[in-house]
C-alpha cells in the first residue's frame, strides 16, 4: 500500500531533470514523466546547467558515454553531487563499470520505455540519497575521530604544562569553551596550535 502511494506521488510530482541527448527520439517519452529543465549536448557545460537549475536528476540519452564525458561526470559528483541516469545502447562491461565508478546512479541498456522510466528515476534518486547519507555518516564519524584526537592532545598539553589530572584538564577546556562561547574542539585546536608554535 505504501509503495503504491509513493509511486502515485512520484507520478504526480514529476522529477525535475537536465537532459543530455545525442539525436535520439526519446525526448517526448521523458516529457510525459519529467519536467525537463534544460536539454544539452555532450559538449555543453553540464556543471553550469546543474548549478543553474538544481535538478532532481541528470538523464543522459546517448548511444554511448565516452571516457571523457564520464570523467566530467566524476568531477561533477565531487563538486556538485546529483543523481545521474544513463540510457545507452553500449552494453560493454568496461563502459558500464566506468560509468558506475564515475558516480552514475543507474545505467540502462535498453530503449527508453515510458512505463519503466518513472521507476528507474525513482530508484536512482532514492539510491543516490541513500549513498549520500552513508557518505555523510562516514564523514561525520571521521570528523568525530579527528576532534577526539585534538581533544586528547590538548588535554595532554594541559596535564603536562599545568600539572593537572585528566579530569581537571577536561574541566578547564570545558570551562574555557563555555566562557568564550566556543566549541570545545576549537579551544583544543587553539591550545595545540599554540603549543606547536612555541616548539617551532
DSSP string, 8-66: HHHHHSPPEEEEEESS-TTHHHHHHHSEEEEEE-TTS-HHHHHHHH--SEEEEE-S---
Residue 23 has pLDDT above 90, yes or no: no
pLDDT at position 196: 86
Classified as helix, coil or strand, 87 is strand
Which cell numbers hold the place of 4?
503504491
Average pLDDT over residues 12-24: 81
Q: Where in the chain is the domain with CATH 3.40.50.2300?
A: 2-132
pLDDT for 76-105, tens place per residue? 999 999 999 999 999 999 999 999 999 999
Three cell numbers written together for 78:
565531487
Q: Is the pLDDT of residue 44 over 60?
A: yes
CATH of 2-132, one of 3.40.50.2300, 3.40.50.720, 3.30.930.10, 3.60.21.10: 3.40.50.2300
Is pLDDT above 60 for 27?
yes
Tens digits of residue pLDDT in 101-137: 999 999 999 778 878 888 999 999 999 999 989 999 9
**pTM for the predicted model, two decimal places:** 0.71
108 beta partners: 87
pLDDT for the residue 5: 47
pLDDT at residue 25, rounded to an integer: 56
Task: Indicate where the chain has its CATH 1.10.10.10 domain(s).
Answer: 139-199
Give strand pairing partners of 178.
Answer: none
Starting at the edge strand that comes first in sequence, how are the strands of the sheet with 106-109 ordered? Answer: 35-40, 16-21, 57-61, 84-88, 106-109
Q: Tens digits of per-residue pLDDT, 126-174?
A: 999 999 899 999 999 999 999 999 999 999 999 999 999 999 999 999 9
Residue with cell 565516452: 66
The predicted pLDDT at position 186 comes to 94
The confidence score (pLDDT) of residue 26 equals 67
Asked whether the beta carbons of 26 and 36 are under 8 A apart, the reply is: no
Fold observed for domain 139-199: Arc Repressor Mutant, subunit A (1.10.10)
Amino acid at each position: 500500500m505504501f509503495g503504491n502511494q509513493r509511486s502515485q506521488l512520484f507520478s504526480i510530482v514529476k522529477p525535475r531533470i537536465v537532459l543530455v541527448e545525442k539525436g535520439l527520439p526519446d525526448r517526448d517519452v521523458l516529457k510525459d514523466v519529467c519536467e525537463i529543465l534544460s536539454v544539452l549536448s555532450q559538449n555543453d557545460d553540464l556543471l553550469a546547467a546543474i548549478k543553474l537549475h538544481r535538478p532532481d536528476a541528470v538523464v543522459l540519452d546517448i548511444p554511448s558515454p565516452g571516457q571523457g564525458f564520464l570523467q566530467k561526470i566524476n568531477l561533477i559528483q565531487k563538486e556538485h553531487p546529483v543523481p545521474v541516469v544513463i540510457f545507452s545502447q553500449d552494453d560493454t562491461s568496461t563502459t558500464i563499470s566506468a560509468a558506475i565508478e564515475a558516480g552514475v546512479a543507474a545505467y540502462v541498456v535498453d530503449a527508453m520505455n515510458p512505463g519503466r522510466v518513472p521507476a528507474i528515476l525513482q530508484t536512482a534518486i532514492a539510491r543516490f540519497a541513500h549513498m549520500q547519507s552513508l557518505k555523510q555518516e562516514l564523514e561525520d564519524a571521521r570528523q568525530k575521530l579527528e576532534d577526539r584526537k585534538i581533544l586528547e592532545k590538548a588535554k595532554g598539553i594541559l596535564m603536562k604544562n599545568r600539572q593537572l589530572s585528566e579530569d581537571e584538564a577536561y574541566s578547564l577546556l570545558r570551562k574555557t569553551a563555555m566562557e568564550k562561547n566556543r566549541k570545545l574542539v576549537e579551544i583544543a585546536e587553539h591550545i595545540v596550535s599554540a603549543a606547536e608554535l612555541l616548539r617551532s
